[in-house]
Amino acid sequence: MATANKEQIEERMTEALVSFGAEKDQIKRDANWESLDVDSLDLVELAQIVEEEYGVKMKEEDMKEMKTVGDAVDFVAERAGS
Amino acid sequence: MTRRVAITGIGAVTPLGVGADALIERWSAGESGIEDGFGRCREFDPEEHLSIKAARRADRFTQLSLVACGEALSQAGWDDEPPVDPGRTGCVMGTGIGGIGTIEDQLDVLRERGAEAVSALAVPMMMANAASGVVAMRHGLKGQCYGTVSACAAGAHALGAGVRMVQHGDADACVAGGAEAGLTPLAQAAFANMGAISPSGVSRPFDARRDGFVMGEAAAALVLESEESARERGAEVLGYVTGYGATADAHHLTAPEPSGDGASRAIELALADAEVGPDGVDWVNAHGTSTTLNDASETEALKRALGERAGEIPVSSLKSAIGHTFGAAGAVEAAATALALRRGVAPPTVGWEERDESCDLDYVPGEARALEGNGRPLCAISNSFGFGGHNAVLCMEAA
């Protein structure tokens, strides 16, 4: 399991979101999911990536609290022990 | 009183190319899209037609459906503003198996990386109704929407369902068709082991040398619309679906009933529905799979249903040019039938050369043949039969 700093996590999440079809130049810390056309199915996939790569579980109730890219990056960074 | 059903849009993605024009032009010219024993849609690149998001959330059978239905709807006038009340527009897409590529991929994920790694998109991608649901979402079609599942008759059943929907006023328009993308390792192995696939890799329907079908993939759709609706909004009418008949053999899992009883009853029902007798049929677009059993029993069925006329009517099989596209076949063949009637030609059974005792009709060898309507609009039937004993026949008329 990789240890990673916030920048690396943000970079990995950006890469994942682009692969989901989000526009790269719109992916910013304060961008919310709707503006990126990211829905609940995308978030489940994002959670799978995060768990596999950082060993961090993002549960459904956690995801409900995450409104933006920054929220998700911070959540993972706090728990990934970086 | 039922309403007359017009065709106002035709779309297809097939081994002959992307688009309905490629299908009819190349088939009429006697070309084949089969390469290395497969009828693959080689010219179809999903990224050219779909956004990253749409493409990655759709199995290939749904990707093909989106493009075929998009072409048909665009031709019928569904651009920015829908020309027909969305609540009265249906969508029915048939398939044999649905997202088998997704099933196989995700089974690998399950076995190699465990249950937690299986994609959350697996279910919406593999479900057999994905094509109809996704097409309805893309175009905002809010009437009846579902999939039909009847193996190689699924596309014809979908069109039959769409025809009834429009005839009976449950919808004013319906985009209907079929799709299959089953050129996967599991499907190939399974069909090969049941002895259905041609060892020679050549699709030769009704020919004495035929030795099985060639696997293909495709999608096609027609926009079916009440004639009244089409006329009122000034849409071009490309043809009509005048009759539909469907039956079951109730005989065997895979083998057709040898006397052709189930198939002939479906033909008779379709003709009765269209109020056409054998004399009114100008062309048969056959199921013609290139298997020993189908082509013989279909020939029997045509003779039973059409009587002495059977020997005078040209019978073509599109599968000679694209292989067997399973759940898409009935829809691709209906699309090709409508297009051929528009051009007034019977395209050839590509590569037909050797007469077989059990196949003794006129299979249009060599090149396309002009059809004569004798002063009335040309009329054809399109046959589709599926493993499980499903028979579905459409009767179509030129505009």
Q: How confident is the model at residue A3 (pLDDT cuts 50, 70, 90)?
A: low
The verdict on A5 touching B (C-beta cutoff 8 Å) is no
Q: How confident is the model at residue B133 (pLDDT cuts 50, 70, 90)?
A: very high
Residue of A nearest to B118 (CA): A48
Q: How far is CA A35 from CA A31, A32, B190, B320, in A?
A: 7, 6, 45, 49
Inspect the interface and report whether the beta carbons of B120 and A37 lie closer than 8 Å. Answer: no
Interface test with A, best of B47, B51, B52 (most A CBs within 10 A): B52
Q: How near does any CA of chain B get to the CA of A35, in Å?
A: 14
Interface test with A, best of B102, B109, B110, B116 (most A CBs within 10 A): B116
The verdict on A26 touching B (C-beta cutoff 8 Å) is no
Each residue's pLDDT tens digit, B205-259:
999 999 999 999 999 999 999 999 999 999 999 999 999 999 999 999 999 998 9
Q: What ranges do the domains of chain A cover? A: 6-79
Q: CATH homologous superfamily of domain A6-79?
A: ACP-like (1.10.1200.10)
Inspect the interface and report whether the beta carbons of B52 and A52 lie closer than 8 Å. Answer: no
Q: How confident is the model at residue A4 (pLDDT cuts 50, 70, 90)?
A: confident
Each residue's pLDDT tens digit, B264-279:
999 999 999 999 999 9
Inspect the interface and report whether the beta carbons of B57 and A48 lie closer than 8 Å. Answer: no
Q: How near does any CA of chain B get to the CA of A19, in Å?
A: 7
The verdict on A60 touching B (C-beta cutoff 8 Å) is no
Per-position DSSP letters for B128-190, written without gaps between them: TTHHHHHHHHHHT--S-EEEE--GGGHHHHHHHHHHHHHHTTS-SEEEEEEEE---SHHHHHH
Catalytic residue among A37, A39, A42, A74: A39
Distance from C-alpha of B324 to C-alpha of B353, rounded to nearest angstrom: 20
Residues of B in contact with A48 (CB under 8 A): 116-117, 119-120
Return the pLDDT at B348. 98
Which domains are assigned to chain B?
5-239 (3.40.47.10), 243-398 (3.40.47.10)
**∠ Cα B225 B127 B317 (to 5°):** 55
